[in-house]
């Protein structure tokens, strides 16, 4: 139990989290597999059941986690990397609120609409690019504000600045995966890593690491036991 409490504390207080190798060394755990499994048990319980959806002004976009792949034409082309949906609250006059992330099966309207309805409260203003997969959000109760990258180029504007919130979060999560985990993230476990990033990002302004630790424990005991298999 003392090892588990120590692991929970180290997991909670680290600004960028902790890799399995670091946990193994810090707590003198004999097996890397044991340290890895402990961290994944914690990652698997970081989503509070029934948590609130994003509200207000929300940017939504997708990115491929893992960077560019040789031989792919870019955009939303299929490949080994995982297409990931990102939604970010935009605060006025400036700043970002909460975010949500989840791997997507594809960039079809079915996948994107499900992502939006799961994570964004109806009535919110949803900003997207001009991808056809986002068409029809108005029928789902959202105020859809599409921004055309092509039109931005014609006007001499930077298309990358159309959705600054999601691009900022995408950059942060990729840097986090490369920095803390050296990019060694299997696609089968990506959803749990994304949950950890979202958990940390949404509590980035918390002044009390003790409260973050408390929240991790509170979520952990609310779930059924997580088995290694």
Mean pLDDT of 31-52: 92
Q: Which CATH architecture has domain 57-170?
A: 2-Layer Sandwich (3.30)
Characterize the bridge pairing of strands 57-65 and 82-90: antiparallel
Please determine, for residue 126, whether its predicted confidence score (pLDDT) is greater than 90: yes
Backbone angles phi, psi at 184, to 5 degrees: -85, 65
Other residues' Cβ atoms within 10 Å of the Cβ of residue 18? 20
- Residue-wise pLDDT for 200-216, tens only, equals 999 998 888 899 999 99
Among candidate residues 84, 73, 119, the one with its CA nearest the CA of residue 191: 84
The DSSP symbol for 224 reads: P
- Residue-wise pLDDT for 134-188, tens only, equals 999 999 999 999 987 766 565 656 656 779 999 999 999 999 999 888 777 888 8
Domain boundaries, the chain: 57-170
Name the percent of the chain lying above pLDDT 90.
66
Task: Please state, in angstroms and as integers, the Cα–Cα distance from residue 222 to each residue in 7, 20, 215, 217, following that order.
Answer: 18, 24, 11, 9
Quick one: pLDDT at residue 160?
63
Please determine, for residue 198, whether its predicted confidence score (pLDDT) is greater than 50: yes
The token pair at 187 is: 């696609």
Evaluate whether 43 touches 195 at the Cβ level (below 8 Å). yes
Q: Angle between the 32-43 and 190-201 helix axes, to the nearest 10 degrees?
A: 60
């Amino acid at each position: 139990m003392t090892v588990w409490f120590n692991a929970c504390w180290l997991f909670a207080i680290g600004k960028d989290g902790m890799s399995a190798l670091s946990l193994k060394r810090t707590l003198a755990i004999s097996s890397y597999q044991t340290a890895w499994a402990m961290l994944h048990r914690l990652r698997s319980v970081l989503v509070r059941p029934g948590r609130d959806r994003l509200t207000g002004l929300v940017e939504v976009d997708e990115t491929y986690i893992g960077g560019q792949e040789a031989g792919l034409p870019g955009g939303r082309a299929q490949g080994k990397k995982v297409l990931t949906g990102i939604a970010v609250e935009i605060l006025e006059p400036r700043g970002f609120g909460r975010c949500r992330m989840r791997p997507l099966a594809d960039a079809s309207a079915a996948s994107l609409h499900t992502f939006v309805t799961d994570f964004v409260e109806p009535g919110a203003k949803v900003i997207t690019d001009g991808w056809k997969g986002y068409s029809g959000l108005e029928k789902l109760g959202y105020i859809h504000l599409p921004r055309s990258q092509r039109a931005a180029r014609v006007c001499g504007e930077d298309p990358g600045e159309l959705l600054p919130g999601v691009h900022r979060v995408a950059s942060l999560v990729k840097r986090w995966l490369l920095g803390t985990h050296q990019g060694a993230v299997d696609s089968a476990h990506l959803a749990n890593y994304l949950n950890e990033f979202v958990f940390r990002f949404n509590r980035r302004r918390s002044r009390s690491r003790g409260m973050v630790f408390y929240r991790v424990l509170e979520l952990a005991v609310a779930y059924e036991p997580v088995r290694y298999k």
